[in-house]
Amino acid sequence: MQDQHIASVFDRDLEAIQAQIMKMGGLVEAAIRESAQSLDTRDEELAEKVRKADRTIDELEEVINGEAARVIALRAPIASDLRLILSVIKISANLERIGDYAKNMAKRTGVLAQMAPVDDSTGALRRMAREVEKMLKDALDAYVQRDAELATSVILQDRDVDQMYNALFRELLTFMMEDPRNITACMHLHFIAKNVERMGDHVTSIAEQVVYLVTGEHPEDARPKADKTSVTVEG
């Protein structure tokens, strides 16, 4: 009877941690969407909302890590449950980084709002961000459903984001060569594009964690990267 009680308390602890992960994931999805929207529509008020909301995302990661550490210390979980808890810690870390990239995008909205638009670059960035947001939704769904096949499809989708980034990178280079007055704005836009591409990488890491959680093994093949620019930007 005592063992059953301990098991039920442990299950409630795990459910609480996973509920926090889904809450954090929802906030990060909103941050991706709203940061891209604020940039495209030059909405500085919405950008400020994204910047402020990042504090809540950071706080949730701290709560999740604290709860996970407490469960490990008090419950001595068996291998499969320990794998779940460790996956939760890694997923929350990736969500926190995606939130940081969304905040970075929002920070540049105010600067770009004072400059002349560069063709449809912000629209292209919004479409790219929408693809990453969809990937994140699918990765979180895969986590909830313990669906390794869906998680694997998310990993493959990262190539599409890389290709969108490559196309935008070339386009920005062209704009800078055609008119030097575009250089400053294009540099800001490139930082943002690279941030969005990095968001896709972190979503892919979440999907890889789901595959590991479900199968006990990491994905066999290295993720197919299509970023050919060899530029690292933490923005």
Domain ranges, ordered by start, for the chain: 2-215
Phi-psi region of 179 (alpha: psi -120 to 50; beta: other; left: phi over 0): beta
Residue 138: the pLDDT is: 97
Number of H helices and number of E strands within the chain?
Answer: 6, 0
The pTM (predicted TM-score) of the whole model is 0.88
Share of the chain above pLDDT 90, in %: 71
Cα–Cα nearest to 199, from 152, 154, 143 = 154
Which range has the worst mean pLDDT, 78-87, 92-101, 183-192, 222-231?
222-231
CATH topology (fold) of 2-215: Methane Monooxygenase Hydroxylase; Chain G, domain 1 (1.20.58)
Whether 55 and 126 have beta carbons less than 8 Å apart is answered as no
Does residue 5 surpass a pLDDT of 70? no
Q: Cα separation of 49 and 60, whole Å? A: 17
Dig out the tokens for 155 from the structure.
Answer: 């990993």
Q: Cα separation of 179 and 85, whole Å? A: 52
Whether 86 and 16 have beta carbons less than 8 Å apart is answered as no
Does residue 169 surpass a pLDDT of 90? yes
Whether 166 and 194 have beta carbons less than 8 Å apart is answered as no
Q: Cα separation of 128 and 44, whole Å? A: 20
Helix (H, G, I), strand (E, B) or coil at 213: helix
Q: What integer best gives the mean pLDDT of the chain?
A: 89
Residue 233: the pLDDT is: 46
